[in-house]
């Protein structure tokens, strides 16, 4: 049943019940709705409308309470049809830009800070499933001769992510030699997926290993480390303290369920991986979630 099958009065009451329940976490009674709506309707009238909404599957009536709570169906119609999408404020946009720009492409710091900003702006728990970097495409290799004893290798992954590693290198190296080696490495490896590079780099660079500077040899000997993104593959949380401010988690059982979810990262990985393709905003509510541990959450 869609909202087209509801009266304007039913839609208004459904909106009020959802909003009040989100605020308090407690079943919502007719008097609460009447006060929230400025007593335009009597509690008795509202009670009748709530009973109709319960019969239509939008509200539920816990046995221990006289109030109603939204069902998954009620929440879904509220999200799809009643809740207004708001734009980020100027201050929120400035906060995001300031924090993200500071890290200039460093993967682990960039991901960590992005999550912290998300949790702060939303006042919710932020959960980040790091990308599958093995499926990322190498866009560019840069090598900078930083000192007489070190070179910096920068791997640029498509979409602006970079991995930077310092390596000891004491051989003589002219600017022209460095430029030519970087050009050759990019010709052989740029445009390939990291997964593909890891299994083929030895063959692709075999004829370059004997070049006079020894830099390609160092690159090949370090390639397993250079192209290892394992430590970036993880589930990261931020803003867990925000959760305690929400009334529904005053319930010890619900809170312990959430803790159990934090401890079993495989559930989060499975849940988020299913929602990552295609990349777009997705909202799942209550028992729309296959995972039982999150069926009290959105």
Of 175, 164, 173, 168, give the one whose Cα is nearest residue 212. Answer: 173
CA–CA separation, 49 and 43 (whole Å): 10
Of 83, 68, 73, give the one whose Cα is nearest residue 26. Answer: 68
**Looking at the chain, which runs of residues are DSSP E strands?**
59-60, 69-70, 126-129, 138-145, 150-157, 161-168, 235-238
CA–CA separation, 177 and 87 (whole Å): 51
Same fold? 3-82, 134-230: no
What pLDDT score was predicted for residue 209? 92
What pLDDT score was predicted for residue 231? 66
Over residues 26-56, the pLDDT tens digits come to 888 888 888 887 778 888 888 898 889 889 9
CATH class of 3-82: mainly alpha
Of 238, 235, 243, 222, give the one whose Cα is nearest residue 263. Answer: 235
Domain map of the chain by residue range?
A: 3-82, 88-130+234-239, 134-230, 246-298
Q: Which overall architecture, per CATH, does domain 134-230 show?
A: 2-Layer Sandwich (3.30)
Instruction: Report mean pLDDT in 10-residue bins for the chain, 298 residues.
Output: 73 88 85 82 86 90 80 86 78 80 68 82 79 82 88 84 85 91 94 90 92 92 85 72 75 75 72 67 79 75
What pLDDT score was predicted for residue 228? 83
């Amino acid at each position: 049943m869609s909202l087209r099958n509801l009266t304007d009065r039913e839609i208004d009451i459904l909106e009020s019940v959802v909003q009040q329940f989100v605020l308090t976490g407690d079943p919502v009674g007719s008097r609460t709705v009447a006060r929230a709506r400025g007593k335009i309707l009597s509690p008795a009238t509202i009670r009748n409308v709530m009973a109709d909404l319960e019969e239509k599957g939008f509200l539920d009536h816990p046995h221990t309470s006289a109030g109603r709570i939204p069902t998954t169906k009620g929440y879904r119609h509220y999200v799809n049809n009643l809740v207004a999408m708001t734009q980020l404020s100027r201050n929120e946009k400035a906060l995001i830009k300031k924090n993200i720009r500071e890290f200039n492409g460093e993967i682990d710091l960039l991901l960590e800070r992005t999550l912290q900003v998300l949790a702060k702006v939303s006042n919710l728990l932020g959960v980040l499933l790091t990308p599958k970097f093995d499926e990322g495409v190498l866009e560019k290799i840069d090598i900078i001769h930083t000192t007489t004893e070190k070179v910096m290798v920068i791997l640029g992954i498509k979409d602006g992510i970079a991995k930077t590693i310092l390596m000891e290198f004491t051989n003589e190296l002219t600017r022209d030699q460095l430029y030519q080696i970087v050009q050759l490495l990019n010709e052989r490896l740029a445009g390939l997926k990291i997964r593909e590079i890891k299994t083929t780099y030895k063959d692709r660079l075999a004829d370059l290993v004997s070049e006079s500077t020894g830099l390609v040899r160092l690159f090949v000997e370090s390639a397993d480390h250079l192209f290892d993104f394992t430590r970036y593959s993880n589930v990261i949380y931020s803003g867990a303290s925000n959760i305690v401010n929400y009334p529904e988690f005053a319930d010890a059982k619900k809170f312990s369920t959430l803790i159990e979810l934090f401890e079993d990262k495989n559930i989060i990985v499975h849940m988020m991986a299913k929602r990552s393709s295609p990349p777009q905003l997705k909202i799942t509510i209550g028992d729309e979630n296959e995972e039982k541990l999150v069926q009290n959450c959105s």
